[in-house]
Amino acid sequence: MKTSFKLTLLVALFAAIFFSSCSYNTMVEKQEATSSQWAQVQNAYQRRADLIPNLVATVKGYAKHEEGTLTAVIEARAKATQITVDPTKLTEENIQKYQEAQGQLGTALGKLMMVKESYPDLKANQNFMALQDELTGTENRIAVERNKFNTVVQDYNQYIRKFPQVIWAGWFGFSKKGYFEADAGAKNAPKVEF
């Protein structure tokens, strides 16, 4: 009897170790997928930041009286590129800080794009139009990458919160990741008046 009890205990211990290693490996894979997708989000934002100097230079040639707008864009770009988030620290607070800096840059870019209405020559400039198209495409890429990031984070968060992974996640330091959320004013529809 003692031998069969020891054998049963040994088999149970082996099964627990085997299944925990499977869970651990899956958590590592999902965490790496999250980090990889975070890098894609940062790449999309970097693409936007790289387009801005060319856009500012093009506008500067036509809109000499818009120095305040150009300065705001340059400052917002500098602030947005200074804020980085380590993939191992993708907390809701860190992502919100990152998102706020990127949102300020988006607002400044929006004002810069409105400048073209006051300058007909700028509207007709091929470089400006090409940069505007590139910027629009980049904003779409950012939205796509943020959506993919949220999907990967959801998969990771769900996995580490399910039983028995929740036990191993706590032991091995796997913690919940934050999501990108809609901007504060996004739920209010803009008013259109004719």
pLDDT of residue 20: 54
Q: Which pTM does this prediction carry?
A: 0.76
Contact between 85 and 94 under an 8 Å Cβ cutoff? The reply is yes
pLDDT of residue 190: 44
Q: Give the helix ranges, DSSP H, for the chain.
A: 2-62, 67-82, 92-115, 120-124, 126-161, 165-172
pLDDT of residue 118: 79
Residue with tokens 């980049």: 138
User: What is the rounded distance in angstroms from the CA atom of residue 180 to the CA atom of residue 95?
Assistant: 7
pLDDT of residue 146: 94
pLDDT of residue 153: 95
* Beta-carbon count within 10 A of 174 CB: 22
User: What is the rounded distance in angstroms from the CA atom of residue 45 to the CA atom of residue 84?
Assistant: 11
User: What is the rounded distance in angstroms from the CA atom of residue 69 to the CA atom of residue 36?
Assistant: 35
Residue with tokens 């943020």: 146
DSSP line for 165-184? HHHHHHHHT--PPP-----G
* Beta-carbon count within 10 A of 69 CB: 19
3-state secondary structure (DSSP) of residue 29: helix
Token pair recorded at residue 17? 């170790």
State how far Cα 52 lies from the chain centre.
Answer: 19
* Beta-carbon count within 10 A of 21 CB: 11
pLDDT of residue 158: 95
In tens digits, the chain (194 residues) has pLDDT values of 577 777 676 666 665 555 555 688 899 999 999 999 999 999 999 999 998 888 888 887 777 777 788 888 889 888 888 888 888 888 999 999 999 999 998 888 888 888 877 777 777 778 888 888 888 899 999 999 999 999 999 999 999 999 888 888 888 889 999 998 876 554 454 443 43
Which domains, ranges and CATH numbers included, belong to the chain? 11-179 (1.10.287)
pLDDT of residue 30: 94
